[in-house]
Amino acid sequence: MTLSIVIVNWNTRDYLLGALRSIYQNPPSFPFEVIVVDNASTDGSAQAVAREYPQVRLILNGTNEGYARGNNQGVAASTGKYVLLLNPDVVVWPGSLERAVTLLEHRCEAGVLAAKLVHADGAVQKSVRGFPRPISIIFAVTGLAMLFRGSRRLNAYRMDWFDYDQEAVVEQPMGTFLLVRRSLFDTVGYMDERFPIFFNDVDWLYRAHQQGQVILYTPSVVVTHYGGGSTRQVRGMMAWESRRGLLQFYRKHYRSPFFLPVYWVAAAASWVHAWIASRLRG
């Protein structure tokens, strides 16, 4: 098996069926498999997949196990040389799957490949960030990053200056479309399930980066990303879950007393942001 496509789903039936439709209408020329991990959806997702795409391997969870565990289940069940972690709210463009695998095969130095994401209207989605290092978060919290959007140092986290039309080695592409060499799961490990929703991909990419793995962004592979298919259902909670993920990332990777003041600054700022966001989103 050349490619395993792992999709974790929770109540995104229509998006999921659209993603599967785009895969099977634009299949690669090499052998591939699709694994859908359903986190106890109540919208008929699993039944629809079983009915319309019987070739898909379904893993049915009795409860919502979260995005990290769902991906881990899918990866463990997969057999492909390459594993694509794909969100259900994605439409794969013609040739994208084959182009992605071919590119990674020829770029031996790269272990992960990220695609260019576009919105439904064709506008480019900002999907690449730097790691949330303490100094980067300080610049973001103090507003310096907003004032100097073009600065690679001051705006190293949100990277508003990034050119999405150029191939580049990056740190933290969005986990919407991540093509990974299977061997990396043996060296980097699986996703940390202490990050159930947010920052699990950031944590995994950070660990890969620490091991010297190259993460490659390419504009030659394009997919449409509708965004927030699952998280839109619980908008009020998502800001708090994002805050929880960031602080867990800091507790895990920046445990030295030297970083304690930064942790509390990040905690306070993220609390305010989460409170405002939860009120605005309802």
Q: Please, which residues have CB within 8 angstroms of residue 195's CB and are 6 or more apart in sequence?
A: 68, 202, 203, 245, 248, 249
Segments of the chain scoring below 70 in pLDDT: 228-240, 258-259, 262-264, 266-282
Q: Please, which residues have CB within 8 angstroms of residue 38's CB and are 6 or more apart in sequence?
A: 9, 10, 45, 46, 49, 58, 59, 60, 61
CA distance 113 to 85: 11
pTM value is 0.90
1-120+164-228: CATH topology is: Spore Coat Polysaccharide Biosynthesis Protein SpsA; Chain A (3.90.550)
Q: Please, which residues have CB within 8 angstroms of residue 183's CB and are 6 or more apart in sequence?
A: 111
- Strand duo 110-118 + 177-181: pairing: antiparallel
- Segment 12-61, tens digit of pLDDT: 999 999 999 999 999 999 999 999 999 999 999 999 999 999 999 999 99
Phi, psi (degrees; rounded to nearest 5) at 252: -80, -45
